[in-house]
Structure 1
Amino acid sequence: MSELFLPCVYAFVACFAFCFVVNIRGRMLLFAPLGASLGWLVYIAAAPAASELLCYFFATLAVSIYAEIMARLHRAPATGFLLVGLLPLVPGGGIYYTMEYCISGDTAMFLETGLHTFGIAGSLALGVLVVSSIVRFYSVVRRHLRQKAGLPPA
């Protein structure tokens, strides 16, 4: 049980500290790191059943949905919630080792690690893209239907 929730607590604490770096204030100071904990929980829960790239994708979907919901509730941009929420999922170690293999001249490991890191980054980008596109499409359709009905835009 602790192997499931303890990493989520670590993600919350690390991202809570990061909130001060990106100047997040007020109630968002507590809600932004919750997205990081949620993302890490989804990643850990999906790990036994899916490949690593799918785990990153599912975690990013969860963080993106959470960010869009919190943005509406707090009347704030979703970017702040996304920035903090995706922080634990960023493949920093992969980037470091890719560059280490490049400098040491190990071409095979450089390519392997680089492609894997690129795949993780692509999973993160695709997850954010899917959710933000759906939200954007919904808002455009909703605005169009309200205009058609003669209601003021909301």
Structure 2
Amino acid sequence: MMYVTNFVYALICTIGFAIVFNVPKTSLIKSGFGGALGWTVFITINHFFQSVVVATFIASFIIALIGEAFAIIDRQPLTVYIIPGIVPLVPGFGLYYTMLSILEENYELAINHGSESIMIAISIAAALTIVLSLNSYRKKRRSNF
């Protein structure tokens, strides 16, 4: 039941961000679905592996794959699906606690939060880069035949 609730909340959140980013109305539900599925994958993987960085990488990878598929099917730009879908995974809480720890002069905790936030951001970027590279490679192979 927890996964269904999280899926619905992530769907609403992602659709809200998609509206802010002026995503076409025909792509709102698909964009929301990508973000909601990514968040559900994140929660599931984090539950089993107890690693936020690994869970973020896998969830970002899934969001990018779904975004690629929707972009090809709907002939829309890839960013229509990826940007709103990634928003639930962005480490805003970690950055907030990093700054709060710096203000409280707790530098050890600031380093812990800051390094985790950087690793999360790197895992998001790495997953997106891998999927986009695979798609580019696929397009090159298709054009050679």
TM over 0.5: yes
Superposed displacement of residue 11, structure 1:
0.6
Tell me the distance in 2 between the aligned counterparts of 1:22 and 1:15: 10
Which residue in 2 is equivalent to 1:29? 28
Q: TM-score, normalised by structure 1?
A: 0.89
Superposed displacement of residue 10, structure 1:
0.2
1:78 matched to 2:78: yes
Identity %: 28
Q: Pick the structure with more helix per residue.
A: 2
Instruction: After superposition, give the CA deviation of every residue in 1:12-38 in whole Å (9 maximum; x if it has no partner).
Output: 111112222111123101111111111
Tell me the distance in 2 between the aligned counterparts of 1:102 and 1:48: 29
Structure 1 vs Structure 2 CA RMSD: 1.0
Which residue in 2 is equivalent to 1:52? 52
Tell me the distance in 1 between the aligned counterparts of 2:112 and 2:135: 35
Q: After alignment, is 111-120 or 38-47 more displaced?
A: 38-47
Aligned partner letter, 1:24: V
Report the count of equivalent residues.
144
Ranges in structure 2 where 5+ consecutive residues have no aligned partner: none
Aligned partner letter, 1:89: L
Superposed displacement of residue 103, structure 1:
2.0
Tell me the distance in 1 between the aligned counterparts of 2:26 and 2:6: 23
Secondary structure at the aligned position of 1:105 is classed as: coil
1:105 matched to 2:105: yes
Q: TM-score, normalised by structure 2?
A: 0.95
Superposed displacement of residue 48, structure 1:
3.0
Which residue in 2 is equivalent to 1:63? 63
